[in-house]
């Protein structure tokens, strides 16, 4: 029986040829240098920061070269796929402003001419390519049971041989087509295996764009390409897809590096051009014990992309940070090109770290602080509102109810040369400004400093309130605090106080502290003059009475 006949028995439903598909997926009309690459996650329900970095650099590389960035959902491993996994990936990309040119938009919609972009919808295509392999003696059906595979392994162990389904151990290489056909006709399940022609004693060179030249032994394992349920494994599916979708750069995690010789063998068997490989290092972190280790999905909350969304860290800050860890020359470029957009920086795979980039969430928060500090108050308001809509209903309602008041609060010490830099995220803002809202001014814990005597505090507050006028300019405002000092035996002049501290009960800083704490409970706040102006005399009086 010829291979062609066997192939027909194995894949009776295949009606197209590889050429038919190649016609349906014509060469892209792009510049020679244009990068076509993809983000190809499995819908596991968890997007790791490392994956986001991969998507980010792929997007960047394609933007830099007028190429194409597409999203391909790799859901052929049913065990790893979770419900709503696809929607999660799509919304994460959206949340981080990583736009796709082509790919899945939801479980049912997509854009682009090279789809379907969800692998489970491409089974017929994989079978067409599989059939071609069988016809050309590059693949065969294997009927080994678990027990038989175990027997092969035991034999290899006994003979001190390399473990695996290869060469003389590849049992179904040596079974006739007739016999295989009979098994299939009897309804026996089979997997499709590659008939490898690689030689383990020869070396294969991979010129990886990130890692440079790497050598591996050639693949000689007859890997499973299609499982017994007809669904392909990653190794096979991605080769077919990257060929038809005209991927120029396979940029993916370094965990795929060891199977690259197999992928190259597959590209070669089909006679397809092999794309460039860019194996990205893992994200690393220095843990509390000072040990450098992988950023772990299990141990590190910051490993999850959802963390940034929940925290309300601006997307722009995350992008800046990702660019910083992607290419270490970016920070210097940014300093030298202040005000320019990331779009003007040229990303280079070769400048990525081979050993994995260090992911330092504090550095990211610092970038975030600087970024937020330069925003206009109304922009901070909008972004905070947006965040609160999803994560803090109480705060959201207050922001809506007191819009102008909230913007004015956010404007304290902002929109100036040296703006305040306390907000590291939109979620942290409430903890800095809560006291400005009566609704939140409950369960108070006053941070009194030098003056703690209640009667003395009351006296200071009363005298001050009588003097306070919201229309005072800053000097007049401050002078009124000094007047309180003079009336109650505190030093209004710091120089005099320092010369003879024992002549006074304290100084003007103690008075302002009492006022600040009475109004906000906090010993440290931004400009008190501004705070009083925003609260107004009525609220001030109310708060003084609460003390």
State in Å, rounded, how far the first CA of the chain is from the last one: 96
Beta strands across the sheet bearing 283-286: 292-294, 283-286, 357-358
- Considering only the stretches 35-43, 99-107, 152-160, 423-431, report the one whose residues sit in contact with ligand GLU under the rule CB under 6 A: 35-43
Q: Can you give the length of the chain in residues?
A: 547
Strand, helix or coil at 193?
strand
- Considering only the stretches 157-165, 251-259, 337-345, 368-376, report the one whose residues sit in contact with ligand GLU under the rule CB under 6 A: 251-259
Which residues lie across from 37 on neighbouring strands?
A: 69
- Dig out the tokens for 410 from the structure: 């956010």
| Residue among 251 and 319 whose Cβ is closer to ligand GLU | 251
| Residue among 43 and 312 whose Cβ is closer to ligand GLU | 43
**Alpha-carbon span 375 to 332, nearest angstrom:** 22
Cβ(74)–Cβ(84) under 8 Å? no
| Residue among 50 and 312 whose Cβ is closer to ligand GLU | 50
For residues 118-137, which are near ligand GLU according to CB under 6 A? none
Q: How far is the CB of 102 from ligand GLU (least distance, A)?
A: 15
Largest Cα–Cα distance in the chain? 113
| Residue among 240 and 250 whose Cβ is closer to ligand GLU | 250
Residues 6+ apart with CB under 8 A from 415: 376, 377
- Considering only the stretches 40-48, 93-101, 508-516, 517-525, report the one whose residues sit in contact with ligand GLU under the rule CB under 6 A: 40-48
Residues 62-81: x where in contact with ligand GLU by CB under 6 A, - otherwise, as a string: ------------x-------
Q: How far is the CB of 444 from ligand GLU (least distance, A)?
A: 50
- Considering only the stretches 248-256, 276-284, 337-345, 467-475, report the one whose residues sit in contact with ligand GLU under the rule CB under 6 A: 248-256
Q: How far is the CB of 259 from ligand GLU (least distance, A)?
A: 10
Residues 377-406: x where in contact with ligand GLU by CB under 6 A, - otherwise, as a string: ------------------------------
What number of CA atoms fall less than 13 Å from residue 195's CA on the CB side? 18
- Considering only the stretches 34-42, 96-104, 124-132, 430-438, report the one whose residues sit in contact with ligand GLU under the rule CB under 6 A: 34-42
CB atoms within 10 A of CB 325: 24
Q: What is the dihedral of CA 298, 303, 306, 312, to 10 degrees?
A: 130
| Of positions 35, 42, 135, 330, contacts ligand GLU by CB under 6 A | 42
Radius of gyration, alpha carbons of the chain: 33
| Residue among 139 and 278 whose Cβ is closer to ligand GLU | 278
- Determine how β-strand 139-142 pairs with β-strand 110-111: unpaired
Residues 6+ apart with CB under 8 A from 116: 110, 122
**37 near ligand GLU, judged by CB under 6 A:** no
- Considering only the stretches 39-47, 142-150, 471-479, 486-494, report the one whose residues sit in contact with ligand GLU under the rule CB under 6 A: 39-47
**238 near ligand GLU, judged by CB under 6 A:** yes
| Residue among 322 and 491 whose Cβ is closer to ligand GLU | 322
Instruction: State residue 110 phi and psi, 5-degree precision.
Output: -155, 165
Site size with ligand GLU, rule: CB under 6 A: 10
**Alpha-carbon span 394 to 409, nearest angstrom:** 17
Q: How far is the CB of 306 from ligand GLU (least distance, A)?
A: 17
- Considering only the stretches 7-15, 36-44, 297-305, 405-413, report the one whose residues sit in contact with ligand GLU under the rule CB under 6 A: 36-44
- Dig out the tokens for 540 from the structure: 């001030």
Q: How far is the CB of 88 from ligand GLU (least distance, A)?
A: 13
Q: How far is the CB of 240 from ligand GLU (least distance, A)?
A: 12
Q: Which of 125, 106, 101 is nearest to 28 (CA)?
A: 101
Residues 6+ apart with CB under 8 A from 385: 396, 399, 400
| Of positions 193, 235, 252, 311, contacts ligand GLU by CB under 6 A | 252
Which residues lie across from 73 on neighbouring strands?
A: 118
Q: What is the dihedral of CA 42, 43, 49, 53, to 10 degrees?
A: 50
**40 near ligand GLU, judged by CB under 6 A:** yes
**235 near ligand GLU, judged by CB under 6 A:** no
| Of positions 6, 18, 36, 41, contacts ligand GLU by CB under 6 A | 41
Which residues lie across from 96 on neighbouring strands?
A: none
- Considering only the stretches 11-19, 37-45, 266-274, 282-290, report the one whose residues sit in contact with ligand GLU under the rule CB under 6 A: 37-45
The residue whose two tokens read 């109810």 is 401
| Residue among 267 and 402 whose Cβ is closer to ligand GLU | 267
Which residue stretches of 78-164 are H helix? 85-95, 123-135, 146-158
CB atoms within 10 A of CB 443: 6
Angle ∠(131,132,135) on CA atoms, nearest 5:
85
Helices (H) and strands (E) in the chain, counts: 22, 14
Q: How far is the CB of 387 from ligand GLU (least distance, A)?
A: 29
Q: How far is the CB of 80 from ligand GLU (least distance, A)?
A: 8
- Considering only the stretches 10-18, 181-189, 249-257, 407-415, report the one whose residues sit in contact with ligand GLU under the rule CB under 6 A: 249-257
| Residue among 180 and 252 whose Cβ is closer to ligand GLU | 252
**180 near ligand GLU, judged by CB under 6 A:** no
- Dig out the tokens for 305 from the structure: 């992309």
Residues that bind ligand GLU (CB under 6 A): 40-42, 74, 234, 238, 250, 252-253, 256
């Amino acid at each position: 029986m010829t291979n062609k006949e066997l192939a027909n028995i194995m894949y009776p439903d295949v009606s197209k040829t590889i050429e038919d598909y190649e016609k349906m997926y014509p060469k892209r009309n792009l510049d020679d240098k244009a990068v076509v690459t993809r983000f190809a996650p499995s819908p596991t329900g968890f997007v790791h920061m490392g994956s986001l970095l991969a998507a980010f650099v792929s997007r960047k590389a394609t933007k830099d070269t007028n190429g194409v960035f597409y999203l391909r959902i790799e859901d052929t491993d049913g065990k790893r796929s979770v419900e709503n996994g696809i929607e999660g990936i799509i919304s994460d990309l959206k949340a981080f402003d990583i736009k796709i040119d082509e790919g899945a938009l939801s479980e049912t919609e997509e854009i682009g001419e090279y789809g379907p972009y969800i692998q489970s919808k491409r089974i017929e295509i994989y079978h067409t390519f599989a059939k071609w392999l069988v016809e050309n003696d590059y693949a065969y059906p294997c009927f080994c049971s678990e027990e038989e595979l175990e027997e092969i392994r035991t034999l290899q162990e006994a003979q001190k041989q390399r473990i695996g389904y290869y060469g003389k151990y590849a049992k179904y290489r040596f079974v006739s087509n007739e016999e295989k056909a009979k098994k299939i006709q009897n309804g026996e399940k089979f997997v499709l295996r590659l008939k490898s022609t690689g030689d383990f004693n020869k070396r294969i060179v991979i010129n990886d764009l990130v890692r440079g030249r790497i050598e591996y032994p050639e693949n000689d394992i007859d890997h499973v390409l299609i499982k017994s349920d007809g669904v392909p494994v990653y190794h096979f599916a991605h080769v077919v897809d990257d060929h038809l979708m005209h991927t120029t750069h396979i940029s993916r995690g370094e965990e795929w590096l060891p199977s690259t010789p197999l992928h190259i063998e597959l590209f070669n068997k089909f006679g397809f051009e092999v794309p460039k490989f860019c194996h990205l290092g893992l994200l690393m972190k220095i843990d509390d014990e000072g040990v450098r280790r992988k950023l772990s999905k299990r141990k590190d909350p910051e490993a999850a992309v959802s963390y940034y969304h929940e925290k309300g860290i601006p997307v722009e800050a995350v992008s800046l940070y990702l660019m910083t860890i992607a290419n270490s020359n970016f920070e210097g470029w940014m300093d030298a090109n202040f005000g320019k957009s990331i779009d003007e920086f040229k990303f280079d795979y070769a400048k990525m770290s081979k050993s994995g980039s260090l992911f330092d969430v504090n550095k990211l928060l610092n970038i975030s602080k600087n970024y937020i500090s330069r925003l206009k108050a109304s922009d901070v308001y909008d972004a905070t509102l947006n965040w609160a809509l999803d994560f803090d209903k109480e705060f959201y309602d207050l922001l809506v109810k007191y819009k102008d008041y909230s913007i004015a609060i956010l404007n304290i010490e902002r929109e100036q040369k040296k703006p305040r830099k306390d907000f590291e995220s939109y979620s942290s803002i409430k903890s800095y400004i809560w006291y400005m809202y009566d609704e939140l001014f409950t369960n108070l814990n006053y941070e009194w400093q030098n003056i703690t005597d209640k009667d003395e505090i009351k006296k200071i507050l009363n005298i001050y309130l009588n003097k306070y006028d919201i229309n005072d300019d800053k000097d007049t405002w401050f002078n009124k605090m000094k007047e309180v000092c003079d009336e109650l035996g505190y030093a209004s002049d710091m120089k005099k106080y320092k010369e003879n501290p024992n002549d006074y009960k304290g100084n003007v800083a103690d008075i302002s502290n009492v006022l600040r704490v009475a109004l906000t409970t906090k010993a440290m706040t931004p400009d008190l003059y501004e705070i009083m102006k925003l609260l107004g005399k009525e609220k001030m009086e109310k708060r003084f009475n609460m003390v």
